[in-house]
Amino acid sequence: MTTDIDPARPLAGQRVLVTGASEGIGLGIAQSMVRAGAHVLIAARRRPQLELARKELDELTRRGQQVAIAELDIRESESVSAMFDEADRTFGPLNVLVANAGSGSMVPFLEMTEEIWQSTMDLNLGGTFRCCHQAATRMAARTDPDENKAILVVSSIRALGTRPGTIHYATTKAGLNQFVRVAAYELAASGIRVNALSPGITATPMALERNPEVFTRMAATVPLGRAGSVEDMGAAAVHLCGPAARFVTGVNHIVDGGESLY
């Protein structure tokens, strides 16, 4: 990667794919990537939400920047392969994958069913593997030592502590943290950096709409006195995927205002 970097647009010209980016943290990361100068492809399951998200991103672009969308179901290998093929046709070889797509719910352990358990495992662990494997395979085939090749997996601080009702979700996120460490070690020889981003409570529209009173109460317990914003998560993602972190791999970057400290 060239050392002649504009600090205001550290990802200028880079080609970035963000999964699960039609809303929430994924969209916030995509917005930050666009502001940092990248060409960005956002992928998710629902096209209407993707179209709305693209309009928001288009307003942030400068001349020459591209924003595109792709429908994606990370539970299906064929869908993942087709999405990466589309990314190659649209932008050319990707520099950055942000594997954000995933989901969770609150289910007490004694009410957990095998169907819920397996579905969460396949989505959060299996789906992330499918995306990262596709990205890494394509990145590893390119041998320019100066090329930026970065994979960022969005994990969660729920992997670090215990909270009732999250055993299936927390288990997948803990698995992703170890996935990142092993993948980072194996892929370092190919010049591919692999890191994790672990958000704490974050003020997304969905989180605020579900139960605003509970959200406000939880946010007040964060040591820094507020919930995180999607801009906080986006700034961390840009850093980890950009030139400032070119010697950083295998880390779990916690962005939670100190929430995981207690």
Domains of the chain by range and CATH? 15-256 (3.40.50.720)
**3 pLDDT higher than 70:** no
Pairing mode of beta strands 15-19, 193-199: unpaired
**Quick one: CA dihedral 208, 213, 216, 219, positive or negative?**
negative
Measure the CA–CA gap between 100 and 107, rounded to whole angstroms.
Answer: 22
Give the chain's mean pLDDT.
95
Active site members: 169
With residue 183 as reference, give the H or E element that holds it.
helix 167-187
pLDDT band at 226 (very low <50, low <70, confident <90, very high): very high
Q: What mean pLDDT is predicted for residues 208-226? A: 91
Query: Hey, how many other C-beta atoms are within 10 angstroms of the C-beta on 17?
Result: 30
DSSP structural state of residue 106: -
Report whether 145 contacts 158 (CB < 8 A): no
Distances (CA, A) of 86 to 17, 22, 92, 176: 11, 17, 9, 26
pLDDT above 70: percentage of residues in the chain: 98
Measure the CA–CA gap between 145 and 241, rounded to whole angstroms.
Answer: 16
Q: What mean pLDDT is predicted for residues 145-149? A: 95
